[in-house]
Structure 1
Amino acid sequence: MRRWILNILVSLLPLAAQAQDTRLQRMDTTDAGRQWEAVGRLDVNGTGFCTGALIAPDLVLTAAHCLYDRTSKRRIKPADMEFLAGWRNGRASAYRGVRRAVAHPDYIYDGEVSSERVRNDVALLQLQHPIRNTTIQPFTTAGRPSRGDQVGVVSYAQDRSEAPSLQEVCGVMARQEGVLVMSCDVDFGSSGAPIFSFDDGTARIVSVVSAKAEIQGQRVALGSALEEALTLLQAELLSKGAFGQAKVPPGAGNVVVGHLRNNTSAKFIRPTQP
């Protein structure tokens, strides 16, 4: 883990002063959020939430760690999840229960923070009923962006849980071992939020938010890989019924994730959960 973090630190230094990020724009009105109705709040177990996005009328993309109860470390039943498409100020454009949920088959919940854990932190939810609403158009996906490319994020968070916020421009600071390191502004509740590219003026999902971190005092977002993950997740959804259990290592819950024991001034925070 330490070598992975140090490599990222070295790769980020030349880009640290080049970020031209836009600020978060809260989308309280229907007009402001019209393009983003397929992004929604994923209410989990009645106690917390993540962010998710439609990639098909009945499929929601989010982070794998959103499927776990952070206290018991157990998988949350799909029946205890609800997707609120375009949730804004107490109302959603569509409400759907979750029929089935699968995490990446190689995702290990509550393991050590590593490139593998972040890279595989992806999940796919099948809704009880498709959302067939002309104002809610599922997003397409695209290949991973490269270092230096501009991306954007639409997310909910603990201080903006009643309306989504858009950061239209943030930067890809590094791409290493399948993990995107980005200057996007995320917080608790942003887990699973879609990261977009805007090639040709079209928003396409290229990653989802797995965790937040700090590198030399700068807040960054860590994004998971999608290209191979989506194929695996769709296969898991067809073959494993309601859950598609990910691995939980012996002694899970006893791992302490936090400060490095060197003078890099870097702190990685464990992937945020509802």
Structure 2
Amino acid sequence: MIFRMSRIGRVLGAAGAAMLLLGAWPGGLAAQEPTRLRSLSTADDSRGWAAVGRLDFANGSFCTGTLIAPDLVLTAAHCLFDIRSGRRQPDAGIEFAANLRDGHAAAYRGVRRSVVHPAYARADAGMARVSSDLALVELDRPIRGVDLAPFRVGALPEGGALVSVLSYAHDRPAQPALQERCNVLSRRSGALVLSCDVDYGASGAPIFALRGSELQVVSIISAKALQDGRKVALGTDLEVPLSAMLAMLSGEDGVFHRRAAPPERGGAKAARAITGAKFLRP
């Protein structure tokens, strides 16, 4: 079987190079039919989703990002690299627009600094790159407000699980769109293979799973792919790399510096030390 994969940050456009990965496709998983994308065009539509926003870059590209703390945005590592030069996007040229709809956002913030997964390498191919395609962006000022409460992060779901995705894309840059139901088709090499509908600009988009009564971010969109002519999305494993990245945030000198643990969504007290932080499991 053949996966044809391409990055889906707006940085790629139509010129994104395809990567090939050979491997067996697991069969036998029962999946519910995915729902269609629904645009969140009003304040009522976007209630509960305002912590998701658009990351805009100085070169004109954009990706999707999610607040996981008042001053931390989770996105894909490849978003932070210019597709033409291969260089890191300057932090000073990045802006996060929370809950951006039709040119207006609930909050705009600049970026103080950013860090990518320590194992991420743009030269890696296939699932090796997907599994480390993770970045954290530290904002220059926290975003506060009940409607903008950060999402908590949960453990990677198993194959067959139902998930939701909220994303911006090249053909709908002004409004996010929600796919309320798509499926985890399999877990492969530290990544998820999903039936979710994604396109250029959706890189970094949160993948949500319902844990009890709470929506948690369980992965982010890294790439789209074709498997035997079928469109699939690929998501990144957050659990191990994000724990390390939260414990040590990259400084301007390239050295990792310890930082305090972020507060939890839903009003829970952030009394844990970062070294004792644990991921939520279903």
Structure-2-length-normalised TM-score: 0.81
State the shift of 1:20 in Å: 1.5
The residue correspondences of 1:1-274 to structure 2 (distance < 5 A) are: 5-7=21-23, 9-11=24-26, 13-15=27-29, 18-109=31-122, 111-237=123-249, 239-241=250-252
Partner of 1:230, secondary structure, is helix
Cα offsets for 1:134-168 (capped at 9, x unmatched): 22010001000000000110000001110000001
Does the 8 A contact of 2:31 with 2:185 survive in 1?
no
Partner of 2:147, secondary structure, is coil
Does the 8 A contact of 2:77 with 2:117 survive in 1?
yes
Relative to 1, partners in 2 of residues 1:42 and 1:2: Cα closer, same or farther, differing over 3 Å?
A: same
Does the 8 A contact of 1:105 with 1:244 survive in 2?
no
- State how many pairs are aligned: 240
Aligned residue type for 1:76? Q
Relative to 1, partners in 2 of residues 1:135 and 1:53: Cα closer, same or farther, differing over 3 Å?
A: same
Does the 8 A contact of 1:105 with 1:232 survive in 2?
no
Aligned residue type for 1:234? L
State the shift of 1:107 in Å: 0.1
Cα offsets for 1:74-133 (capped at 9, x unmatched): 001111100000000010000000101000000002x14222210000000100000012
- Stretches of structure 1 lacking an aligned partner (at least 5 in a row): 246-274
CA–CA separation in structure 1 for the residues paired with 2:251 and 2:102:
36
State the shift of 1:230 in Å: 1.1
Cα offsets for 1:167-189 (capped at 9, x unmatched): 01100001011110001100000
Cα offsets for 1:177-228 (capped at 9, x unmatched): 1110001100000000000001223110000110000112211110111001
Aligned residue type for 1:225? D
Relative to 1, partners in 2 of residues 1:242 and 1:37: Cα closer, same or farther, differing over 3 Å?
A: farther
Q: Could you list the structure 1 runs, at least 4 aligned residues long, displaced by more than 6 angstroms after superposition.
A: 1-4
Aligned residue type for 1:221? A
State the shift of 1:14 in Å: 2.7
Structure with greater proportional helix content: 1
Partner of 1:140, secondary structure, is coil
Does the 8 A contact of 2:208 with 2:217 survive in 1?
yes
Q: Percent identity?
A: 48
Relative to 1, partners in 2 of residues 1:224 and 1:30: Cα closer, same or farther, differing over 3 Å?
A: same
Does the 8 A contact of 1:179 with 1:222 survive in 2?
yes
Partner of 2:163, secondary structure, is strand
Does the 8 A contact of 2:113 with 2:251 survive in 1?
no
- Stretches of structure 2 lacking an aligned partner (at least 5 in a row): 4-19, 257-282
State the shift of 1:46 in Å: 4.2
Aligned residue type for 2:120? Y
RMSD after superposition: 2.0
Structure-1-length-normalised TM-score: 0.83
CA–CA separation in structure 2 for the residues paired with 1:141 and 1:92:
23
Structure with greater proportional strand content: 2
Relative to 1, partners in 2 of residues 1:218 and 1:24: Cα closer, same or farther, differing over 3 Å?
A: same
CA–CA separation in structure 2 for the residues paired with 1:2 and 1:117:
17
State the shift of 1:22 in Å: 0.8
